[in-house]
Amino acid sequence: MSDAAKQLIGTAMTSASVPKPFAAYAPSNIALSKYWGKRDHARNLPLNSSLSISLADWGSHTQVSPSDDGQDHVTLGGKELALDTPFAAKALRFADLFRTHAASAPLRIDTNNTIPTAAGLASSASGFAALTRAICGCFGLTETLSEAQMSLIARLGSGSATRSFWHGFVRWDKGTREDGADSFAHPLDLNWPEFRIAILPVDVGPKSQSSRDGMNHTVVTSPLFNSWPDQAEADCAAIESAIKEQDFETLGPLVEANALAMHATMQAARPALTYLTSESWTLLERLWRARQDGLRAFATMDAGANIKLIFLKQAATDVMEIFPQAQMIDPFSKP
Ligand code: DP6
């Protein structure tokens, strides 16, 4: 069975031009309705659709250029990496998907992340999206390939990268085709200028287990996982409607429940998997108490200990008072 993303690269590469330097930016994103579980590992196809909000100017700037000394080079934050470090190895493996069609083409890949290190957010979503754009640009494919097609290709690097091609709210349809041709993202074309996100950093170091390993372990061993794909699909549809109606009172509880359900599937895994620490739970309890006192903010958590809050602009002062460590993002500000 073929892989639609690889086929797309193959077809596009027939019109590839001489590689030239190309720089691209992609924002990071936070899922409001989570992707958790794959139906196909080789093609990186999800079991459920997901929906995210992009983080404006928090993201990755990546430049891909032909290398001038016949060797591959990868830099991150201005530092040259050994080619066997995980970041460099993953980036080059991804570049190889294009290079099988363009002989050797040694490349230089320079990445700078603008996500504050202190926020402890992973950058693989923005990293693979920016890398996809930059490689496509380097080989002259940005005219040939649409944004949706690049989103489909980025999925091979990391699932969440599929959603990092646009600002604002983005939905990744899981698709049903075996070759993955219908599994890519599209933006929900709407502006919600009052919508805010705050990151409450808990652990800013590297995560204990990658999301990839964590989701695979959960799918294989958690008896609670069986109920996840249908529930997640229903949540995604309900979350999309609430966003379209700009109905925050419906949206907030759905987003929080979806994240907690994902974490419940992990806790039921055997052995149990938990990314949340006692500090994460303390923050959640503080949030729930504040909500009883009227705060309109809701939490979401990914494969890490940090808590992310969503709320509307009018709650920003209260959020900052209760959580002075919050790092605030206005996702609809022009990056
Ligand atoms: C919990 O996109 O990192 O953040 O496709 O294996 O690279 P791979 O996984 P990844 O998983 C993200 C999981 C999540 C939820 C989400 O972003 O939807």
pLDDT at 258: 98
In the chain, where the domains are located = 4-187, 195-329
Give me the DSSP letters along 40-95: ETTTTEESS-EEEEEEEEEEEEEEEEE-SSSS-EEEETTEEPPTTSHHHHHHHHHH
Nearest atom in ligand 1 to 155's CA: 5
CATH T-level topology, domain 195-329: Alpha-Beta Plaits (3.30.70)
Q: Is 54 in the pocket of ligand 1 (CB under 6 A)?
A: no
Answer yes or no: is the C-beta of 185 below 6 A from any ligand 1 atom.
no
What's the confidence (pLDDT) of residue 19? 92
pLDDT of residue 22: 98
Contact 55, 331 (CB under 8 A): yes
Select from 211, 260, 306 the residue to mutate for testing ligand 1; criterion: most ligand atoms less than 8 Å from CB.
211
For atom 5 of ligand 1, the residue with the nearest CA is 159
Q: Does 166 sit in the ligand 1 pocket, CB within 6 Å?
A: no
In this structure, whether the domain defined by 4-187 belongs to CATH 2.40.50.140 is answered with no
pLDDT at 335: 59
- Strand 73-76 and strand 195-200: the pairing is unpaired
Instruction: Look at residue 90 and give its three-state secondary structure.
Output: helix
Which residue has the CA at smallest separation from atom 7 of ligand 1?
A: 158
Do the Cβ atoms of 177 and 155 come closer than 8 Å? Answer: no
> Do 111 and 76 meet the contact criterion of CB atoms below 8 Å apart?
yes
- The DSSP result for 152-182, as a single string, is HHHTTT-GGGGGTTSSSEEEE-----TT-TT
The low-confidence residues of the chain, meaning pLDDT below 50, are none
User: Is 207 touching ligand 1 by the criterion CB < 6 Å?
Assistant: no
Residues whose CB is less than 8 angstroms from the CB of residue 292 and which lie 6 or more positions away in sequence, other chains included: none
Residue 117 has a pLDDT of 73
How far does residue 82's CA lie from ligand 1's centre (Å)? 25
| 129 strand-pairing partners | none
**Sheet hosting strand 195-200, strand order edge to edge:** 297-300, 307-312, 195-200, 327-329
Is the whole-model pTM more than 0.90?
yes
User: Ligand 1: which atom is nearest the Cα of residue 30?
Assistant: 17
Whether the link from the prior residue into 271 is cis, omega within 30° of 0, is yes
Tell how far the Cα of 215 is from the centroid of ligand 1, in angstroms: 8
Structure tokens at 184: 């890519």
> Which atom, in ligand 1's list, is nearest to the CA of 262?
1
With a 6 A CB cut-off, is 31 part of the ligand 1 pocket?
yes
CA distance 88 to 80: 9
